[in-house]
């Protein structure tokens, strides 16, 4: 049979400067007394939850988080005047030394936000209750003081961008960076006790972010609880210790550590009944916003003093947007451009501290490299039976606790969509994104796919533009450029000027365009001492009708070679030529940039997004073999220009297409929620060139 419940209210500052005004707070207290409620301690509430004491009266618990100085100056006298008691949760590193203060000793009360910033950035804790005041609370006033962590540490819980660090940033940012810098980015915040978080790492003046592992967070919590509890015990001397979660955020890992530390109960910001059988490790509380008046308090007392209505008016905390595990899936077993980007994305995520699992075909050529870098590879034999494959994918998502699925290639898109539908029947919820690295017409169902999942991730603005023309909603198409991981060494050029094409013999890649352009160049100039290389071509006799025999003899064809050999050839070359008819953003262009090559490209797809004609490369119209030949001649003759272009290109790829840059860009997309603006900004190449 349902009966009574004990409402617990959560307050913070009580002053004219912030939180509740003293007059408003007094009206809250008077309303409680008018309704016949009596305040009880946290210890008394614990006894009720454990069944050792009955709810034999109308009880309420008043809690005060952070121990702002206004609690001592304003709250305590008002409680004493009314014969009421309170439970105060102190941030132990903010407990300073000094005498017991009166109002005259605190000429200015700062807001909670300002108080936290001063404490975190200047170690100025004067706006919080000191040790003498807290001890007086316990031993002179008969109230309770318990733990609220050492520093109320926040973290960047995900990668939803909140602007650069500014005076208006959330106060917890000063606890993440420690030092103000307006060039640093900020992201959505959460509790470091509930979220592993993404933490800044500085190297050579640049910042990257890495997610804490569960073990790292566990150690951090354990150390914090130990230090905090030692200090609080010296103040309250209590046998039972209680704890209040920062922002009310918690999870199983944190709860395990709280119990192991010796806390008998913890206070959340969940809403439910507090009665016999309530888990004291999850005591429910009602946050009282600054605008709430006495009428609101009266209503909440009615709602949460009755077990039935308290259970109906529930509010439970759940960790949202916590990106801890990624799953990449593709049905191709070849090391194509898309496959290479899957590998690079996995590498970027692992470097950012995010776990990665990949679903692949048995025998896939991706397996050795992914396993070597630490990816958990799961094999799926049959990608053709969509329903079976989707069921298998759902089981992998559940088993590995996957948060985001990112598909590569068309069949994986459909499997992902079916798995997303299956999740509605009770499976693990996950975000679903589809990779898009081409500019040809998409599947007619692309708009539907984008609505079932969370949208497309395109590797160029041009690729995104094609999707929008085929009715994919703008918010469902975002841009993340490819990345390339270079060796970090300065390229060793061959003595001969080398011009290199890297592609295949497909019509879209324009191998015939390249051969025609070389033929046109050689018909006008012998280009002695110049090497022409065509990676990905094997039998040049197929082009005998469009080029002279002497031209075909000059073109070196290593055929299809391992990726590392391609990179070595690029590193020894001088000029990269992309002669494509249709292209989005080829990996080989970024690899050529990393190797410091000048680039000559057709205006196919997204290449113009990275190349400024005449500055870091030369652009030609599609199939304009004469312009390609002239561009090759220009760069052959002007070694200084091509060297400067190569230097710029290396800076571009290292600034905008590194693993760090890709990790941050992907995490922004993975962290996005409905209503967020899509990520479509192009790299600010012009500023880099001017700089």
The segments of the chain whose pLDDT lies below 70 read: 1, 485-492, 494
* pLDDT single digits (tens) 562-580: 888 998 999 999 999 999 9
| Res 1: pLDDT | 56
Residues 427 and 391: beta-carbon distance below 8 Å: no
End-to-end CA distance of the chain: 74
| Res 665: pLDDT | 95
| Res 15: pLDDT | 96
What DSSP letter does each residue of 303-355 carry, written as one string? HHSBHHHHHHT-B-----S---EEEEEES--S--HHHHHHHHHHHHHHHTT-E
DSSP 3-state assignment of 203?
strand
* pLDDT single digits (tens) 543-555: 999 999 999 999 9
Domains observed in the chain: 8-151+217-312 (3.20.20.370), 154-211 (no CATH), 325-479 (3.40.50.2000), 497-657 (3.40.50.2000)
Residues 575 and 543: beta-carbon distance below 8 Å: no
Residues 356 and 349: beta-carbon distance below 8 Å: yes
- Inter-CA distances, 67 with 29, 127, 145, 213, 594, Å: 18, 9, 9, 31, 54
| Res 490: pLDDT | 59
- What is the value of pTM for the model shown? 0.91
Residues 470 and 440: beta-carbon distance below 8 Å: no
CA distance 511 to 478: 30
| Res 683: pLDDT | 87
Helices (H), 206-245: 214-236
DSSP state of 674: T
| Cβ atoms within 10 Å of 641's Cβ, excluding its own | 15
Reduce the secondary structure of 450-479 to three states and give it as a string. HHHCCEEEECCHHHHHHHHHCCCCHHHEEE
Q: What are phi and psi of 598, to 5 degrees?
A: -75, 150
Residues 171 and 116: beta-carbon distance below 8 Å: yes
Run of H or E including 79: helix 76-81
Two tokens, residue 551: 């031209």
| Res 337: pLDDT | 80
């Amino acid at each position: 049979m349902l009966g009574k419940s004990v409402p617990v209210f959560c307050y913070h500052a009580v002053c004219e400067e912030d939180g509740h005004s003293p007059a408003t707070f007094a009206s809250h207290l008077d309303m409680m007394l008018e309704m016949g409620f009596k305040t009880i301690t946290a210890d008394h509430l614990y006894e009720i939850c454990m069944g050792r004491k009955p709810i034999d009266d109308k009880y309420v618990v008043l809690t005060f988080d952070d121990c702002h100085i206004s609690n001592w100056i304003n709250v305590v006298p008002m409680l004493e005047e009314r014969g009421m008691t309170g439970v105060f949760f102190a941030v132990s590193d903010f407990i300073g030394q000094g005498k017991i203060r009166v109002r005259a000793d605190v000429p200015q009360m700062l807001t909670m936000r300002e108080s936290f910033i001063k404490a975190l950035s200047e170690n100025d804790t004067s706006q919080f209750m000191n040790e003498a005041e807290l001890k007086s609370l316990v031993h002179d006033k008969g109230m309770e003081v318990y733990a609220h962590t050492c520093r109320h540490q926040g973290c960047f819980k995900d990668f939803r961008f909140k602007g650069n660090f500014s005076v208006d940033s959330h106060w917890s940012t000063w606890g993440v960076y420690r030092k103000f810098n307006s060039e640093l980015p900020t992201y959505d915040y959460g509790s470091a006790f509930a979220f592993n978080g993404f933490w800044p790492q500085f190297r050579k003046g640049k910042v990257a972010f890495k997610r804490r592992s569960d073990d790292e967070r566990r150690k951090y919590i354990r150390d914090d609880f130990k230090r905090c509890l030692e200090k609080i015990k010296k103040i309250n001397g209590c046998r039972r210790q209680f704890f209040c979660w920062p922002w009310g955020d918690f999870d199983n890992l944190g709860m395990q550590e709280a119990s192991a530390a010796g806390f008998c109960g913890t206070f959340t910001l969940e809403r439910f009944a507090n009665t016999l059988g309530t888990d004291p490790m999850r005591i429910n509380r009602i946050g009282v916003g600054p605008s709430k008046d006495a009428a609101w308090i009266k209503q909440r007392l009615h709602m949460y003093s009755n077990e039935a209505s308290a259970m109906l008016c529930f509010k439970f905390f759940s960790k949202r947007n916590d990106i801890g595990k990624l799953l990449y899936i593709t049905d191709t077993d070849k090391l194509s451009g898309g496959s290479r980007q899957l590998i690079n994305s996995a590498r970027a995520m692992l470097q950012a501290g995010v776990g990665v699992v990949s679903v692949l075909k048995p025998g896939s050529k991706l397996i050795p490299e992914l396993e070597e870098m630490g990816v958990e590879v799961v094999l799926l034999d049959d990608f053709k039976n969509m329903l079976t494959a989707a069921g298998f994918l759902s089981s992998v998502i559940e088993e590995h606790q996957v948060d985001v699925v990112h598909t590569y290639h068309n069949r994986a898109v459909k499997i992902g969509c079916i798995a997303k539908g299956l999740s509605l029947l009770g499976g693990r919820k996950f975000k679903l994104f589809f990779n898009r690295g081409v500019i040809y017409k998409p599947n007619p169902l692309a708009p539907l796919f984008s609505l079932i999942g969370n949208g497309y991730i395109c590797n160029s603005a041009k690729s995104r533009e094609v999707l929008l023309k085929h009715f994919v909603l703008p918010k469902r198409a975002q841009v993340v450029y490819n990345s390339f991981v270079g060796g970090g060494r300065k390229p060793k050029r061959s003595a001969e000027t080398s011009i290199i094409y890297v592609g295949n013999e497909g019509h879209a890649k324009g191998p015939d365009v390249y051969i025609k352009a070389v033929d046109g160049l050689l018909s006008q100039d012998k280009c002695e001492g110049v090497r022409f290389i065509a990676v990905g071509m094997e039998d040049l006799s197929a082009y005998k009708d469009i080029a002279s025999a002497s031209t075909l003899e000059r073109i070196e064809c290593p055929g299809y070679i391992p990726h590392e050999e391609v990179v070595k050839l690029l590193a020894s070359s001088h000029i990269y030529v992309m002669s494509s008819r249709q292209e989005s953003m080829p990996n080989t262009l970024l690899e050529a940039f990393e190797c410091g090559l000048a680039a000559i490209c057709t205006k196919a797809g997204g290449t113009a997004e990275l190349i400024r004609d005449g500055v870091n490369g030369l652009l030609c119209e599609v199939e304009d073999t004469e312009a390609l030949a002239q561009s090759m001649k220009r760069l052959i003759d002007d070694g200084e220009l091509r060297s400067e272009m190569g230097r710029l290109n290396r800076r571009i790829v290292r600034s905008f297409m590194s693993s760090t840059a890709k990790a941050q860009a992907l995490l922004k997309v993975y962290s996005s929620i409905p209503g967020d603006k899509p990520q479509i900004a192009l790299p600010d190449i012009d500023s880099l060139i001017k700089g």
